[in-house]
Structure 1
Amino acid sequence: MKPLLRDAMDNGYAVAAFNLVDYNTTKAMVKAAEELNAPVICQTSSKTIKYFSHKEIVSWVRTVAEDSPVPVVLHLDHCHDIAMIEECAKAGWTSIMIDASELPFEQNLEQSLKVREIAEKYGVGMEAELGQIMGVEDDMVVDEADSVLTDPEDAKRFCDALDLSAFACAVGTAHGYYKGEPVVDFDRIQAINTLTKTPMALHGGTGLSDETFAKAIARGAAKVNISTNLKHVWVKSFVDYHLAKPTDFEPLRVGDAQYQACKAMFHGFIEKFGGKDRGSAFVAKLG
């Protein structure tokens, strides 16, 4: 993930990162990336791993991505469990994230440095978070009153110590759907990226406007996370199909309706973030 996000940051685009739901959504996101000649990040939450297992998820991604002509990253999203992080790195994840953002700065850094050792041991990318992003993520709730925007100077100290592939920080976005108009601090994004020179992971992408995405990406956001939107499309496409054809109980037709709806959603975000036609160019740079 590190060279991919550096390429995105240097060239003014962002890589779309989607939290996969099942094999069908994994296949759809890689296919969408291939159709657009774009890189993509397949992310997993801790609860998804607990439900399906490491072995199953790695097998899905390997099946759809190992012969793909575009770059595909398998990334562990928000994780507090260092044992799980190492299991993922060992099992085949190509990027891991430690989220110790609820801890004071020094303790957060201490935990993150432990994960830095794991990332180096297995040769994988790493993301870490400073500041608390409000909303609900993987059953963890951060109220607006408890959210803490990331201080740019603290961000520099944090990133200098960790050599991250991606830096997650609180800049006014939120996990889940927004109840009101989000107030994204673009000056803070600019300041953090200027000081850290580390590709920023913009969490809480669902519900942001095209203008917000464009401004954040122009200021250095190189990875944009989409999770809630996918969950809604996955469920709604199933319900819509059944309402339209209430007597059709053929699972493959229902599954294909979900696949097509999710793929269309992936298409939209990949193009919106500027990833189209970046895939083969990045592969060529790697030689």
Structure 2
Amino acid sequence: MPLATTGELVTRAAAAHCAVAAFNIITLEHVEAVIAGAEAADAPVVLQVSENAVRFRHGRLHPLARAAAVAAERARVPVALHLDHVQSDDLLRQAPGAGFSSVMYDAARLPYTENLAATRAAVAWAHAQGLWIEAELGQIGGKAGQERDAHAPGARTDPEEARAFVADSGVDALAVAIGSVHAMTTRTAALDHALLQRLARAVPVPLVLHGSSGVPDDGLVAAVAGGIAKVNVGTALSVAMTRAIKEFLAARPEAVDARQYLGAAREAMAREVTRIIGVLSPPARAAGISPVSRP
């Protein structure tokens, strides 16, 4: 089927009080695993390519993007392409020609005024190209160059500041800092659900949770019930992939055919995708929490 758009998938999820899962991809095996996992769950999904992934691929966006687009067009469920954590304006401008319907423009490392100015300029350009754009406010942490601790005073997203930021920047979605941390390999992050509910009431656009791999299932369910409409997942797939390869090679130390251990890794990632989508799909009543009404 034709490529879906991220904006359409997130808007539908928000209206249904659920969340669309957005998985970061690095290899073709990631692409195939995410689509297979979404098909098994019979659910839409977003394929995300981060600026770090582009850097890993020698700075070339199009090879992975085109492979993802071709695979997405052959999927049995709606699939959208999203360019994630973009700091480079040059990379931002490559998005429309590479098949992306959306971009997360990341100026959160900057002071508020500079973040707002940079994001406003990115939004103006992106909207002129028909791109849906997400930004970040607060300090989620866990990425290179983010020295501030995600749990330090002032790191969390302030609801009134978020309201003003969205109104002044024109972004279509906002990633918020509520206790999750990027790149966690343990599922011990404790989200501030009271803050999330305040943010959901203050901000009129869909909210996004980054660093979701470190959040336990019950925390994810409560986050969706509290107003999160897009959940980003990256490290969980890396953990599943690495574990499967290690287990395969430990059991078969003589193996040299990459198709064998990459096949095992792809299957493990697909199972994790299906599992995570299942966690995010139940409506708010599954968490015993009433959905938050938006302004």
The CA deviation at 1:275 is: 7.4
The offset of 1:204, in angstroms, is 1.0
RMSD after superposition: 2.0
CA positional deviation for 1:22: 0.2
Report 1:89-238 matches (<5 A): 89-135=96-142, 137=143, 139-144=144-149, 145=152, 148-177=155-184, 181-238=188-245
For 1:12, the aligned partner's letter is H
Whether the 8 Å contact between 2:187 and 2:214 is mirrored in structure 1 is: no
Aligned residue in 2 for 1:33: 38
Deviations 1:81-104 (A, max 9, x none): 112111123322211111111222
1:43 pairs with 2:48: yes
Does the 8 Å contact 1:176/1:204 carry over to 2? yes
Runs of at least 4 residues off by over 4 Å: 178-181
Q: CA separation in 1, counterparts of 2:192 and 2:115? A: 23
Quote the residue 1:279 is aligned against. none
1:246 paired residue number: 253
Judging changes above 3 Å, is the alpha-carbon distance between structure 1 residues 180 and 2 closer, same or farther for their aligned structure 2 residues? closer
Determine the structure 1 residue equivalent to 2:3. none
Shift of 1:248: 2.4
Which one of 7, 25, 40 corresponds to residue 2 of structure 1? Answer: 7
The reply on whether 1:264 has 2:271 as its aligned counterpart is: yes
**What runs of 5+ residues in structure 1 fail to find an aligned partner?**
277-287
Identity %: 29
2:73 corresponds to 1:63: no
Q: Is the 8 A contact 2:50 2:86 kept in 1?
A: yes
**Equivalent-residue separation in structure 2 for 1:95 and 1:16 (angstroms):** 15
Moved more, 144-153 or 54-63: 144-153
What letter corresponds to residue 152 of structure 1 in structure 2? P
Q: Is the 8 A contact 1:134 1:146 kept in 2?
A: no
Q: How many residues align?
A: 274
How far, CA to CA, are the matches of 2:128 and 2:256 in structure 1? 48
2:11 counterpart letter in structure 1: R
Give CA-to-partner distance per residue, 1:190-234, whole Å, 9 cap, x none: 111111121111011112111111111001101111111111222
Cα distance change of structure 1 residues 3 and 164 upon mapping to structure 2, 3 Å threshold:
farther
Q: Which has the higher contact order (CA 8 A, sep 6+)?
A: 1
Which of the two has greater helix per residue? 1
- SS of the residue aligned with 2:135? strand
Equivalent residue number for residue 19 of structure 2: 14
Deviation at 1:66, TM superposition (A): 1.2
1:63–1:147 distance in 2 versus 1, CA, 3 Å:
farther
AA paired with 1:64?
A
Say if 1:14 and 1:223, in contact at 8 Å, map to a contact too.
Answer: yes
**1:225 partner amino acid:** N
Look up the equivalent residue of 1:23 and give its one-letter code: L
* In 2, Cα distance between equivalents of 1:120 and 1:200: 19
Partners of 1:59 and 1:179 lie apart in 2 by 33
Distance 1:229 1:147, change over 3 A: farther
Match of 1:282 in 2: none
Following superposition, the deviation at residue 76 of structure 1 comes to 1.5
2:187 and 2:215 in contact (8 A); partners too: no
